[in-house]
Chains A and B, each alone.
Chain A
């Protein structure tokens, strides 16, 4: 009987484990020799890698994961594995272009974009230990009274003698702080010039607070520098006339804005019911006291 019971439990555990089914390796994906021999015509410049990263994040990250390890939403190829990185750029291009199974073909993308993505994927498999990151400082410059509404970010680093030197050709992302993150306001590739500066025009349709104030953020994103960002309050936003709902209590808002009627009925109801239960407990206690006295 005891042995049977144990076998039963074992069977159950086995069944559960089996249902997990470990992922198998992907079958070989042969690439024609002439395709594999194609050389990457796009140099791995910062611009190319930045464009590749943008496309990677949009089209590849969901399945292959942020770091390309194949740990995204579904079982997918590990882009930083030795088997993968041993391939030529041409072979990877062929696979991106033609697709297979759950990997969709990206033939509709411009050729250059696919090469950009390949340049970015190559970067993913680099050992972070080998990449010595430098520190930079970033500042935001703007003229609040200017008609042009231009925001400039200046990136500098400290030279060995302690003086500040501009950092050229690094990417700066501009954005506006919102409730749940940063809304990008720079859509083109924004790289610093020889003076370490890059500017964007502030869009005229961004809503600020009731007086039009908002926070502009400029963030440095580069593979040679540690990420750093600067922010500044600017009053270039549209005035938000519709603050009615942000100050009002409503069912869909957080606990600080509970509707009064709900607060009263919820707490009132709970107190009434638990008050009654408490009163009954008191009655039971009195029954016991009488019982103790009689006996």
Chain B
């Protein structure tokens, strides 16, 4: 861009300069703490990769999975990651379509979380395979009737859509950084130049970009709903107590929004502190996210009541055993801790305005997110100990499931993987969409041709 346009732009947009400066500023600071943090993540990923290498060589026998528990924490994590990834569609698509302007600064955070989470969901599935070299057999030889094939398709589709939906609104921001950022490494400058696609903000470019964004926003809705509904069908289409439920689709989707909203609150708090974004991620955003969390948790609670009350009322042979195990038996401490600390108490607390302030909501969101992970474990694993035929004359190790070190280290590696994806992306891209926030604040004439 020439110097004269630069000047004209400044004059026209006023506060826009301030906004872009505020949001670009964090990209210059690579603090010592951040470097240590990235190395810690890489360490955990390396440990996870070593553990996985071990599992690859010696086989899934290294896990605690046996004949009865053939799905362990890898699959629970897979469900968790899919759940968390759904937040990208809730905030970027649903709230946007409902013209909830307060959510504009959160859209990129939610898309980053979605991308990191869905990438790890795909990874978790492969990790769970005994012979990952045969992964291509799924699309090549799978039965179209199998929900696993549907899952394979939607997970990959959602991965692509998440990446595209992250990228499209970034294009004008990348152009801003390309033009404004000085004194940055050459590779970074080159990356911006390449990814900005020669963005000049002409009227025609804006028209095309807005069209593309709208298509993706609408497209992500059915795909997001199908990815988690299909994930629930992996369970619900089997004839197993605790899984064969007709409401599993909406049960999973509503639970997903709870987990994702909690993840956004945590990320919001961290970025606000680290990037000093108090003017953009204000108490208003925390207040509204708190309310959104209450709404999603109430819906999830409603499905929980359905999910447990109806089979609990029927008390069939296996249903009864399963519910007894969860409510009063072996799993009861974990179950009630999850339900109370991760669902009921957070609903109650977040109803108070004071609890929706940044600090308290961070603590509550951490409990909700941790509860969401444990809940997935409680959905996936206990059911497998209640097969149609009684368990008889089997080795002792088949009768319980406690994840081995291998499983825990690999799972921890995926957590570090998701965090690393997000961390590296916010190192080079602004965590708040610059142009969208500028539009929100009324500074419309950012680029020369936009009138």
- B-contacting residues, A238-275, CB 8 Å: 251-255, 258-259, 262-263, 266, 270, 273-274
> Which of B171, B223, B404, B406 is A287 in contact with, Cβ under 8 Å?
B171
A293 and B152 CA atoms in complex are apart in Å by: 40
**Smallest CB gap from B203: residue in A:** A290
Q: Given A16-B62, A16-B406, verify A290-B202 contact (CB < 8 Å).
A: yes
Min CB gap B90→A, angstroms: 19
A220 and B229 CA atoms in complex are apart in Å by: 54
Chain B residues contacting A270 (CB-CB under 8 Å) are 153, 157
In the complex, the answer to whether A274 meets B404 with C-beta atoms within 8 Å is no
**Smallest CB gap from B64: residue in A:** A19
Chain A residues contacting B270 (CB-CB under 8 Å) are none
Min CB gap A235→B, angstroms: 33
In the complex, the answer to whether B144 meets A280 with C-beta atoms within 8 Å is no
**Smallest CB gap from A5: residue in B:** B43
Among A7-15, A31-39, A51-59, the stretch that binds chain B is A7-15
**Smallest CB gap from A283: residue in B:** B212
Number of A residues with CB within 8 Å of any CB on chain B: 38
Min CB gap A4→B, angstroms: 11
Q: Any chain B CB within 8 A of the CB of A292?
A: yes
**Smallest CB gap from A256: residue in B:** B143
Chain B residues contacting A262 (CB-CB under 8 Å) are 144-145
In the complex, the answer to whether B223 meets A273 with C-beta atoms within 8 Å is yes
**Smallest CB gap from A292: residue in B:** B198
In the complex, the answer to whether A277 meets B200 with C-beta atoms within 8 Å is no
Would you give the 0/1 interface string for A22-59, flagging 1 where the beta carbon is closer than 8 Å to chain B? 00000000000000000000000000000000000000
Q: Any chain B CB within 8 A of the CB of A284?
A: yes
Chain B residues contacting A134 (CB-CB under 8 Å) are none
Chain B residues contacting A255 (CB-CB under 8 Å) are 143-144
Q: Any chain B CB within 8 A of the CB of A141?
A: no
Chain A residues contacting B161 (CB-CB under 8 Å) are 277
Q: Which of the listed residues A15, A259, A273 has the most CB atoms from chain B within 10 Å of its own CB? A: A273
A258 and B150 CA atoms in complex are apart in Å by: 14
Min CB gap B380→A, angstroms: 22
> Which of A258, A280, A284 is B197 in contact with, Cβ under 8 Å?
A284
In the complex, the answer to whether A258 meets B145 with C-beta atoms within 8 Å is yes
> Which of A16, A273, A291 is B205 in contact with, Cβ under 8 Å?
A291
Q: Which of the listed residues B153, B212, B222 has the most CB atoms from chain A within 10 Å of its own CB? A: B212
A266 and B215 CA atoms in complex are apart in Å by: 21
Chain A residues contacting B222 (CB-CB under 8 Å) are 273
Among B47-55, B276-284, B331-339, B347-355, the stretch that binds chain A is B47-55
A279 and B202 CA atoms in complex are apart in Å by: 20
Min CB gap A135→B, angstroms: 38
Q: Any chain B CB within 8 A of the CB of A74?
A: yes
In the complex, the answer to whether A280 meets B212 with C-beta atoms within 8 Å is yes
Q: Any chain B CB within 8 A of the CB of A295?
A: yes
Q: Given A258-B145, A280-B212, A287-B208, verify A19-B197 contact (CB < 8 Å).
A: no
In the complex, the answer to whether A266 meets B216 with C-beta atoms within 8 Å is no
26 A-B pairs within 8 Å (CB atoms) are namely A9-B47, A12-B51, A12-B405, A15-B405, A16-B54, A16-B405, A19-B62, A253-B145, A255-B143, A273-B219, A273-B223, A277-B157, A277-B219, A280-B164, A280-B215, A280-B216, A283-B215, A286-B208, A287-B199, A287-B208, A288-B197, A288-B198, A291-B198, A291-B199, A291-B205, A294-B198
Contacts beyond the supplied A9-B50, A16-B51, A291-B196: 9 A-B pairs with Cβ under 8 Å: A13-B50, A16-B406, A19-B62, A254-B143, A255-B144, A273-B219, A276-B215, A290-B200, A290-B204
